[in-house]
Amino acid sequence: MNGPVRIGVLGCSAIARRRTLPVMRDADHIEVAAVASRSADKAREYAAGFGGEPCGYHELLARPDVDAVYIGLPNALHHEWARLALLAGKHVLCEKPLATDQSSAKDLEDLATTNRLVLRENFAFLNHPQHDEVKRLVADGRLGAVRTVAAAFGFPPLPATDIRYRAELGGGALLDAGVYPIRLAWHLLGDGLSVAGAVLRVDPALGVDVSGHALLTSPDGVFADLEFGFQHTYRSRYQIWGSAAALRLDHAFTPPPGHRGSLDIEEQDHGEQLVMPAAHQFRLSVERFADAVRTGWSARTEAPWLAGARETARLAEEIRAVAVTVPAQAGAA
């Protein structure tokens, strides 16, 4: 592909407005070609601000001037519309999670692979170079043998009308906030993670989980202790505790573009702080997706993205299946 990647936007979500569409509008090799929403007024509003022609969902997928589709719909609709986009021959960048269960994720993985189409889950944090440095330090043995990965992502309660409180749309903290530490655990520890135990705090009036805690184990016995929710003060961090040292990273999942994070390494008698370069992880996520589309599908580059999406869906499904549920406190939402 020599020209820009022409993207159709399926779903006028808040994350699209705040994060993804400004990057697409300003990128050199991306053009927003069409915008679809259930609301014609919202589609026109987004098209006026970010480019493209307002249209309906099915109309967007049929357009020959759309090379790829960005899906910002509620979680429960990701599989249906990603599947239709792939069947229409479009590459897909989908907001997380790609699917709400393992079988749906595998279905999309198979479709994308068979049709040689780029399919990526928009976990922007994975594109930030600070995590590459963490993996390098672990691989080089800086922390010794890794014993535990502990990760937390949580934030205060959402407005009562937020779609993340709607069970029929795939709401709940596990699929919204919990998938971040789950994906991080897979990113650091690889395949074969299993769920040793979990607890979900559920709001009985809403029918959705509002926070949770899960313990995963790797095949070689590393623990992954994961916390998440939207009942908390903001926290976005992880720590790797090894036999020789521990490493901690704050602002791990949603650092602002100008933020320079630090890897704080602690030994028994020594401390070290490594300051990381700033990076715009949403821009990197979108641009790398577009580069993959322009370059052409490659099994080597796309396989890790597909495996990560499948494993994230599997682990979230297993957490929900084994979790002990407790009622949320009054005023949780």
**Average pLDDT value for residue range 295-304:** 96
pLDDT one-digit tens code per residue, 164-180: 999 999 999 999 999 99
Q: Is residue 23 part of a domain?
A: yes
List the catalytic residue out of 42, 90, 96, 135: 96
pLDDT attached to residue 331: 52
Q: What is the CA radius of gyration of the chain?
A: 20
pLDDT one-digit tens code per residue, 250-278: 999 999 999 999 999 999 889 999 999 99
Looking at the fold, whether 221 and 294 belong to one and the same domain comes out as no
Q: Is residue 305 part of a domain?
A: no
Looking at the fold, whether 107 and 207 belong to one and the same domain comes out as no
Q: Residue 247: helix, strand or coil by DSSP?
A: strand
- Check whether 231 has a pLDDT greater than 50: yes
Q: Which amino acid is at 237?
A: R
Looking at the fold, whether 83 and 205 belong to one and the same domain comes out as no
Q: Is residue 94 part of a domain?
A: yes
DSSP string, 168-236: GGT-SHIIIIIHHHHHHHHHHH-S--EEEEEEEEEETTTTEEEEEEEEEE-TTS-EEEEEEESSSS-EE
Mean of the per-residue pLDDT values of the chain? 96
pLDDT one-digit tens code per residue, 128-147: 999 999 999 999 999 999 99
Q: Residue 51: helix, strand or coil by DSSP?
A: coil
- Check whether 10 has a pLDDT greater than 80: yes
Respond yes or no: is residue 96 known to be catalytic.
yes
Q: Residue 148: beta bridge partners?
A: 223, 241
* Residue 36 CB coordination number (10 Å): 29
Q: Is residue 333 part of a domain?
A: no
Looking at the fold, whether 91 and 151 belong to one and the same domain comes out as no
Q: Is residue 308 part of a domain?
A: no
Edge-to-edge, what's the strand order for the sheet holding 53-55? 53-55, 30-36, 5-10, 68-71, 91-94, 119-121
For the chain, how many structural domains are there in total? 2
**Average pLDDT value for residue range 104-121:** 98
Can you tell me the distance from the alpha carbon of 66 to that of 8, in angstroms, rounded to the nearest whole number?
6
Q: Are 5 and 68 in contact (CB under 8 A)?
A: yes
Looking at the fold, whether 55 and 112 belong to one and the same domain comes out as yes
Looking at the fold, whether 141 and 64 belong to one and the same domain comes out as no
pLDDT attached to residue 172: 98
Q: Is residue 309 part of a domain?
A: no
Write the CATH number for 68: 3.40.50.720
Can you tell me the distance from the alpha carbon of 31 to that of 40, in angstroms, rounded to the nearest whole number?
21
Looking at the fold, whether 180 and 265 belong to one and the same domain comes out as yes
Can you tell me the distance from the alpha carbon of 142 to that of 223, in angstroms, rounded to the nearest whole number?
18
Can you tell me the distance from the alpha carbon of 195 to that of 205, in angstroms, rounded to the nearest whole number?
27
Nearest Cα to Cα of residue 316 among 163, 218, 200, 231: 200
Write the CATH number for 137: 3.30.360.10
Q: Is residue 114 part of a domain?
A: yes
Q: Is residue 320 part of a domain?
A: yes
Looking at the fold, whether 185 and 257 belong to one and the same domain comes out as yes
Looking at the fold, whether 116 and 186 belong to one and the same domain comes out as no
**Average pLDDT value for residue range 63-69:** 98
Q: Side-chain half-sphere of 113: how many Cα atoms within 13 Å?
A: 15
Q: Are 206 and 333 in contact (CB under 8 A)?
A: yes
Looking at the fold, whether 104 and 210 belong to one and the same domain comes out as no
Alpha helices in 223-331 (DSSP H): 281-295, 299-322
pLDDT one-digit tens code per residue, 149-163: 999 999 999 999 999
Looking at the fold, whether 10 and 159 belong to one and the same domain comes out as no
Looking at the fold, whether 72 and 204 belong to one and the same domain comes out as no
- Check whether 246 has a pLDDT greater than 60: yes
Domain span at residue 9 reads 5-124+283-298
